[in-house]
Amino acid sequence: MAKNEKKLGLINVIGLGVGGAIGSGIFVTLGSAMSRTGRSILPITIICVFYMLLAYWYNLGMSTVFVVKGGDYSMKGMLLPPILTGFGGWTNVIWAFGCTGYALAISQYLGDLWPLFNEYSKISSAIILTIFFLLTIKGNSFVAIFQNVVTFLLIFALILFVVLGIPSVDTSKFFDMNYDGGFFYNGLSGVISAIAIMAWACQGTTMGPVGVVPNTKNPKRNIPLGIILTCLVVSAVYGLMSFVASGVLTYDQYAGENLSVTARAIMPQGLFTFFVIGGGICAIISSFLSVLIMIRYPLSKMADDGWLPNSFKKKSADGYPYYCYLLVYIVALVPILIGMNVDNAISMLMIPTMIINIYLNTKCMMIPSKYKEQFENRSIKIPKWLFILASVLGGVCSAIIAITLFKDLNFHNAIIAAAVVIFPLLFSWLALKSGSVSRKHLDKEREKIIEDALKHDQV
């Protein structure tokens, strides 16, 4: 039990949650969200953090009932049927669209400093994408060092943005419902659309905490409590950032633009350059590298389990799944070459993610009756009716995001989004039908995950 002293406490869990949530998303999506709803982005960003907590309800709900040592991956293993297990594996390939969005966003921020990047955005984004995929071959030690530096730079950049920006906001005009289009610029549809696009920036509050269950003291208490407190901190930070971003300039100046537009208005040139590089670009690079490392082992396991053709099982001497990464690279490169923008690239990733969440959240409805003893020992005494209601609302929240993002696409991109959902389902069905993936093996893995979770049902 002496090892417990080295384990993470509640403060550590909150730190991981906040660090994982506040990053590139706010730099990438806030301008697009503001174009949809104007200054009402202030309450929307605060609400959206908790909205996304519901959209990822299964992470919070299951954490109060079980100690699932495999985190999000094992939670999905407990709940998903075979075909959706395959689809869940394919979402690691679909993360390619996130890489597309990162490459395009880096190019945009570089264009704020050197306009040449805007003139050749396709070429620059493709080169950026290629460089980052090359870094994955031998880049893990570099990433660890880079992440520590970026965290410090990001925090300093956000403090600069808020501290220098708040005095520049005319609060009498900001809260004037008739000034500059007022709040709720495009009505209810604009609010829903803004929440859907901000989902990318607000979805990380549960992922960091559930990923450290094995290393956390009293995880059944500290993980769910850490998630809730993380949401409170992130909502406060995002609220302050959105207040500055939408309050310094007028709608026509900030709508659809990234945070550098506001930063240029409130900062001298030297600090502005630091904000763009140390804040925006470094935050996006950090997320980009984290994603590329995060998908390595799931991609490799996906290939080993038979969800991909046999050739994808080939690895380098140190276990690098080069064919898997080549597939993700090609899927990420094509949207850049055909001129897809950041918002659409994010939608391609978020739509299938939310479809999976619809199933996972609604499946949680069965937990109180299926695992009665574990539910009785839940760490946060949520009434049974409220747990079930939250599961239903979680499914509804996920569905609204998926439908809204799909609705906002043009016909060409809607076809691509539909293909991103249909083809992984088809490939998963074929893998099961052909026997390249064993249903018995999947059932055994699920039983093993459930058995392990039931062993640790005490608070």
* Bridge partner list, 8: 216
pLDDT at 139: 53
Question: Do 335 and 348 touch, CB atoms closer than 8 A?
Answer: yes
Exposure string for 377-388, b = 16+ CB within 10 A, e = fewer: ebbbebeeeebb
Exposure string for 23-45, b = 16+ CB within 10 A, e = fewer: bbbbbbbbbbbbbbbbbbbbebb
In CATH, which of 1.20.1740.10, 3.30.1060.10, 1.10.3720.10, 3.30.70.1710 is domain 36-456? 1.20.1740.10
* 161-190 pLDDT tens trace: 999 999 999 888 888 777 877 688 888 899
pLDDT at 2: 43
Number of Cβ within 10 Å of residue 236's Cβ equals: 12
Alpha-carbon separation of residue 426 from 321, 421, 430 (angstroms): 23, 9, 6
Question: Do 25 and 102 touch, CB atoms closer than 8 A?
Answer: no
pLDDT at 15: 79
Q: How confident is the model at residue 6 (pLDDT cuts 50, 70, 90)?
A: low
pLDDT at 5: 47
Mean pLDDT of the 347-356 span: 94
* 367-413 pLDDT tens trace: 999 999 889 988 888 899 999 999 999 999 999 999 999 999 999 99
Question: Do 262 and 248 touch, CB atoms closer than 8 A?
Answer: yes
CA dihedral 30, 34, 206, 227 (to 10 degrees): 110
Residue 249 to residue 254: CA distance in whole angstroms = 6
- Cβ-based neighbours of 285, under 8 Å, separated by 6 or more: 102, 106, 132, 146, 150
pLDDT at 459: 42
- Three-state SS letters, the chain: CHHHHHCECHHHHHHHHHHHHCCHHHHHHHHHHHHHHHHHHHHHHHHHHHHHHHHCHHHHHHHHHCCCCCHHHHHHHHHCCHHHHHHHHHHHHHCHHHHHHHHHHHHHHHHHHCCHHHHCHHHHHHHHHHHHHHHHHHCHHHHHHHHHHHHHHHHHHHHHHHHHHHHHCCHHHHCCCCHHHCCCCCHHHHHHHHHHHHHHHHHHHCHHHHCCHHHECCHHHHHHHHHHHHHHHHHHHHHHHHHHHHHCCCHHHHCCCCCHHHHHHHCCHHHHHHHHHHHHHHHHHHHHHHHHHHCHHHHHHHHHCCCCCHHHHCCCCCCCCHHHHHHHHHHHHHHHHCCCCHHHHHHHHHHHHHHHHHHHHHHHHHHHHHCHHHHHCCCCCCCHHHHHHHHHHHHHHHHHHHHHHHHCCCHHHHHHHHHHHHHHHHHHHHHHHHCCCCHHHHHHHHHHHHHHHHHCCCC
* 72-105 pLDDT tens trace: 777 888 888 989 988 988 988 999 999 999 999 9
pTM: 0.87
pLDDT at residue 444 greater than cutoff 50 = yes
Inter-helix orientation angle 219-247/57-65, to 10°: 160
Number of Cβ within 10 Å of residue 326's Cβ equals: 12
Q: How confident is the model at residue 145 (pLDDT cuts 50, 70, 90)?
A: low
pLDDT at residue 425 greater than cutoff 70 = yes
Q: How confident is the model at residue 140 (pLDDT cuts 50, 70, 90)?
A: low
pLDDT at residue 4 greater than cutoff 60 = no
pLDDT at residue 146 greater than cutoff 80 = no
* 252-262 pLDDT tens trace: 899 888 899 99
Q: How confident is the model at residue 143 (pLDDT cuts 50, 70, 90)?
A: low
- Pairwise pLDDT comparison (21 vs 34), residue with the higher score: 34
Q: Which two tokens stand for residue 399?
A: 């569905």
pLDDT at residue 3 greater than cutoff 50 = no
Q: How confident is the model at residue 123 (pLDDT cuts 50, 70, 90)?
A: very high
Residue 366 to residue 369: CA distance in whole angstroms = 6
Domain definitions of the chain by residue range: 36-456
* Bridge partner list, 49: none
pLDDT at 1: 41
Q: Which two tokens stand for residue 76?
A: 């999905």
Measuring CA to CA, which residue among 247, 44, 261, 267 is closest to residue 159? 267
pLDDT at 427: 93
